[in-house]
Amino acid sequence: MTMRLLWWMCSLTHFVSLVSADSDCIGTWCDTCLPVTIHDAPGVGFDLTPLYGTAVVIYYNGTVVEVAKIPGNPEYLELMARLATSQPVLQSTRNFMHELPSYIVEYLFPSVSSPWRDWWRWMNMKLGRPIKADSVEIISDLLQELKIATEKAISQPLDRVAVSEPGFQSLSPAMVNAALRVLGLRTWLHDSVYYPSRLVEGDAVYAANGYGLCINYRDRFQCADEFANSPAPTVFVVSYHRNLLYTSIMDYATSEAFPYVSRLEAQLVDYELGLDNLLENDQDQTAFWGRLRSQLQILPRESEYTITDILLAGESVTHPRFLASLRESMSEISLGPATAKIQLAIDPTFAAARGAALYARRRQEVPSDCYEKSECEEVRLRERLHTSTPEELR
Ligand SMILES: *[C@@H]1O[C@H](CO)[C@@H](O)[C@H](O)[C@H]1NC(C)=O
């Protein structure tokens, strides 16, 4: 269904391009080949959780490096808590007016360290406006730390990255992309009509666990065809942190990873059931665990389809007590190991960033809006031979 839509968009783009100057449909051949420096570059993925950010690098040779886990500052935690619990008010003018200045500032003064930006903040302070950083700034502060850690790990400047986020409705992909632009980073999401515009944590974790990865990822349409007749999985993603629990239902149309439109169907957020709350409430343990178990059951019970897979994310999800509680609550609603196995093959703390890095690594090899000619592999083979040391690749 999605692919058909994409095909129509493709045809439409093609039609428009016949009228306008140049064609930008994926059905066309590229004029140039991707240079080795881009094609073989490491794929970098960041994950923004409500509490911290993580960075993972996947090299061309397949080596995966978990680069960094950086805690968000208090402003970041507060922002995320607000985004997690508020409903998006897209129609509201007030909200629009509130969000507008941050975008204008970001377009006018694109650098964090620019004197103009400092002046803008100084002005705001003089005018008695809250000097609190806006959402874009708060997010870019954390992204910047991830960027610095990553550049150190790969020993080269970072240019392009895929960022996954929890999928809270009020956290718009535009906000994350604006935060990346502030840092001079380009994104692998929303950069082409043929590829996803958003990478939600659940989708990234799904791919990181090895699900739905096509073999022929160099061809967007063939990649989708590989899963055309696959059963449609329904995935329950459980994210557990020190300060909150959130669960998501991902309803896939086919089992292909990195779907064009995120498959996030429903989400439950509870800021009172984090691991810290548990450890504090010594008295009330039974009540706490009882409530946790029933919260875990809500989305699977309400889901239109039976859960086929249970995936984990977040730094606290492997706490033995939590895992036991999850298993117990799932078997209570007949989702035992036989029906939906709880996956623990990769570190849940880095799972989403790993999925994002995987997506970025694959995209490095594929031009986003044209097909490479077949001789490109040979051109690059020669290019690699002439580059004797890895240092020169940089
Ligand atoms: C893969 O590449 C990275 C970066 O160049 C290097 O550090 C690592 O040792 C390589 N791993 C293998 C198995 O070749």
Q: Which two tokens stand for residue 382?
A: 């020669």
| Measured distance CA(22)–CA(182) in Å, rounded | 30
- CB-defined site of ligand 1, < 6 Å: 59, 61, 63, 390
- Strands in the chain per DSSP E: 43-48, 52-58, 64-71, 160-164, 186-187, 234-240, 245-251, 264-270, 309-313
Indicate if the alpha-carbon torsion angle 333, 334, 336, 339 is positive or negative.
negative
How many angstroms separate the alpha carbon of residue 65 from the centre of ligand 1? 10
pLDDT class of 33 with cuts at 50, 70, 90: very high
Q: Over the stretch 321-332, which tens digit does the pLDDT of each residue have?
A: 999 999 999 999
Which residue's alpha carbon is nearest to atom 8 within ligand 1?
63
Question: Mutate which of 36, 61, 391, 392 to test ligand 1's pocket (most atoms within 8 Å of Cβ)?
Answer: 61
Report helix, strand or coil for 273.
coil
Mean pLDDT of 110-139: 67
Q: Two tokens at 269?
A: 């957020």
User: Which atom number of ligand 1 is nearest to the Cα of residue 62?
Assistant: 1
What's the chain's average pLDDT?
84
Which residue would you say has higher pLDDT here, 51 or 106? 51
The minimum-distance atom of ligand 1 relative to the CA of 61 is: 1
Domain boundaries, the chain: 2-387
Between CA 98 and CA 105 the distance in angstroms is 12
The residue among 66, 56, 102, 88 whose CA lies nearest residue 168 is 88
Pairing of strands 309-313, 64-71: unpaired
CB 244 within 8 A of CB 217: no
Report which residue type is found at 181.
Answer: R
Q: What is the DSSP string of 132-197?
A: PPPHHHHHHHHHHHHHHHHHHHHTS---EEEEEB---TTS-HHHHHHHHHHTT-EESSSSSTTS-S
Pocket test for ligand 1, best of 63, 361, 393 (most atoms within 8 A of CB): 63
pTM of the prediction?
A: 0.84
From ligand 1's centre to the CA of 359, what distance in Å? 19
pLDDT attached to residue 76: 96
